[in-house]
Amino acid sequence: MAFKPTIDLDKCEGCEECVENCPSDVLEMKDGKAFVANEDECLGCETCIEVCEQGAITVEEL
């Protein structure tokens, strides 16, 4: 099973909570915003969604 995390850059405030809490190092920071650096490593755990107060992250099951 594969997952596709997506970040809405208009909503992302660069708090880094998703980057710090992702157990698989899927997300990284670039230019003050989170971005998906290692999509293939996503476990679909949705921890990033839970910690994102701005609602900027979605995870789609492929």
Does position 59 have pLDDT exceeding 90, yes or no? yes
Number of folded domains that form the chain: 1
The whole model's pTM is what?
A: 0.92
Tell me, what CATH number does 11's domain have? 3.30.70.20
In which domain, by residue range, is 55 found? 3-61
| The predicted structure's pLDDT at residue 1 | 86
- Which pLDDT tens digit goes with each residue over 24-56? 999 999 999 999 999 999 999 999 999 999 999
Cα distances from 35 to residues 10, 44, in angstroms, run: 12, 16
Half-sphere exposure of 14 (CA within 13 A, CB side): 5
